[in-house]
Amino acid sequence: MSALAIIGGSGFGSFPGLEAQERKQVDTRYGTTSAPLVYGLLNGRPLWFLARHGPEHQLPPHRINYRANIQALADAGCTAIVALGAVGGIHPSCAPGVLCVPDQLIDYTYERAHSVFDDEGAGVEHVEFTQPYDDALRRALLAAAADAGIALRDGGTYGVSQGPRLETAAEIRRMAQDGCDLVGMTAMPEAALARELGLGYATLAFVVNWGAGLSDEAITMAAINAQIERCADEIGRLLAVLVERRPG
Ligand code: HPA
């Protein structure tokens, strides 16, 4: 049976409704994970969960040990990852409150350990990354959303910024010109590492603010947190249907 993992981002330090059966702090050749891996049952169906920013949301995006996180999930037997991500909206149709499964990425990050092919003399594989997201998993998310009666935007380009600061208005204008619809801080190197380790990977993005300069209102953490709370119920319901529908 293929094992599914959810990586929780901002607002998802734990997963609502998941009955934990096992928690394990894992050490990998890259070091330790952001938080203990949680294995449990969601409505009786098996699921792994990992809090990307740590149990206390203490890790900023550029300090996350992405390699340890993805390696640990692979070692645990996970074959597919749904990564939750709070994002800013850039495309006019990506207003706060919109849920989206992006189909493309542009990586603006730097100085992150971003590959498992990092040891001199150990060889390298140049993984295919034309389509950075797993199409079957994206389609399963879209089908689950349709079943649950939840609007989910199909496709979009996720621009990954370095953070932890938010962007300038000019940076968002440049990202819009580049074709980015969304901006977030964590999809890379996560997506590429999943590909290198042979795991299916899809992002379920939820828009929590307009990108910098696209609205007259200042971007505040209070407003972002309020929007995360407003999205949480739909995300929980959508993922419950996804897990329910998985074969096995
Ligand atoms: N920029 C980058 N990352 C984000 C944003 C943003 O505006 N909102 C939520 N995550």
- The answer to the question of whether 165 is labelled as a binding residue is no
136 alpha carbon – ligand 1 mean position (Å):
27
pTM: 0.96
The pLDDT score that the predictor gives to residue 68 is: 97
Evaluate: CB of 166 within 6 angstroms of ligand 1: yes
pLDDT score for 16: 87
pLDDT of residue 120: 77
Contact 99, 238 (CB under 8 A): yes
Q: In angstroms, what is the span from residue 3 Cα to ligand 1's centroid?
A: 29
186 within ligand 1 shell (Cβ under 6 A): no
91 alpha-carbon distance from chain centroid: 19
Model pLDDT, residue 71:
97
DSSP letter (8 states) at residue 211: P
Q: For the chain, what is the radius of gyration of the CA atoms?
A: 17
Q: Helix crossing, 187-196 with 66-75: angle to 10°?
A: 40
Assess contact for 85 and 205: CB atoms under 8 A. yes
The pLDDT tens digits for 28-51 are: 999 999 999 999 999 899 999 999
- Ligand 1 centroid to residue 76 C-alpha, Å: 30
Positions of the chain with pLDDT lower than 50, given as ranges: none
Residue whose CB lies within 8 A of the most ligand 1 atoms, among 167, 186, 190, for a mutation test:
167
Angle at 215 between CA 184 and CA 225, to 5 degrees: 50
CB of residue 98 inside a 6 A radius of ligand 1: no
> In this predicted structure, what is the pLDDT of residue 248?
58
Each residue's pLDDT tens digit, 200-244 = 999 999 999 999 999 999 999 999 999 999 999 999 999 999 999
